[in-house]
Amino acid sequence: MQRLFLVVVVIVLGACSPKTSLKKTNDNCPVSIKQGISGKVVWREGNWRPSKNTNEKPQEQPISRTICIYELTKDNQVSKNGKFYENPTTQIIKQVQSDTNGCFEAELPEGEYSIFVEEDVEERKMLYANSFDTNMNINKMVVSKKKITETKIIIDYKAKY
């Protein structure tokens, strides 16, 4: 009788225990951090111009890349090499890797940051970003207290618009 009671208690407690589930971003990426940046990295190439033929819609692909998070960086604080950047004069804060679904997250203190993606170009590591604000800050992200800033990083230097 005591064994039966113990088995019933274990089953009931197991059924009532809280389920641990991660939050998900708008791009369906899991989020386990409480403050920082979370998002998805996708690859675009080919013709992305509007077409009358709706059967020819290009598809972006999730991609694994190293995401480099720097102090907020202006256009004049990096060397430009075509569509890529080198030698930022600002400090790198963190590097994270997106998974095969393109998902990534970085726990960060409150502040303003620039996010770059590392690309292999002509046998060397270069930085890529394609977004600026009106003050020429490159791919600016703001992290607020106890908030997750969501982003979608689009690598599109081989796409035509």
CATH number of domain containing 88:
2.60.40.10
What's the number of domains the chain is made of?
Answer: 1
Structure tokens at 135: 């003050």
H or E element, residue 159:
strand 148-160
Is 81 contained in some domain? Answer: yes
- What pLDDT is recorded for position 25? 62
Q: Which of 64, 148, 149 is nearest to 98 (CA)?
A: 64
Closest CA to 62 of 94, 25, 87, 95: 25
Nearest to 33 by CA among 135, 115, 104: 104
Residue 12 lies in a domain: no
Residue 33 clears pLDDT 50, i.e. is over it: yes
Q: How far apart are the first and last CA of the chain?
A: 74
Residue 102 pLDDT greater than 80, yes or no: yes
- The per-residue pLDDT for 14 is 44
Reply yes or no on whether the pLDDT at 30 is more than 60. Answer: yes
Q: How far apart are CA 83 and CA 26, in angstroms?
A: 28
Given this model, what pLDDT does residue 61 score? Answer: 96
13 pLDDT band, cuts 50/70/90, is: very low
| pLDDT > 60? residue 16 | no
Is 13 part of a structural domain of the chain? Answer: no
C-alpha to C-alpha distance for 153 and 116, rounded to whole angstroms: 9
The answer to whether position 24 is within a domain reads yes
Could you tell me if residue 6 is inside a domain? no
Q: Is residue 113 part of a domain?
A: yes
| Inside any domain, residue 43 | yes
Write the burial class of residue 69 (CB in 10 Å: 0-12 exposed, 13-18 middle, 19+ buried).
Answer: buried
**pLDDT tens digits, 104-158:** 999 999 999 999 999 999 889 999 999 999 999 999 999 999 999 999 999 999 9
Does a structural domain hold residue 78?
A: yes
pLDDT at 122: 86
Domain limits for position 44 = 19-160
Cα–Cα distance measured from residue 125 to residue 62, given in angstroms and rounded to the nearest whole number: 20
Four-CA torsion 86, 87, 92, 98, nearest 10 degrees: 20
Task: Round to whole Å and give the CA distance between 126 and 158.
Answer: 15
User: Is the distance from CB of 156 to CB of 44 less than 8 angstroms?
Assistant: yes
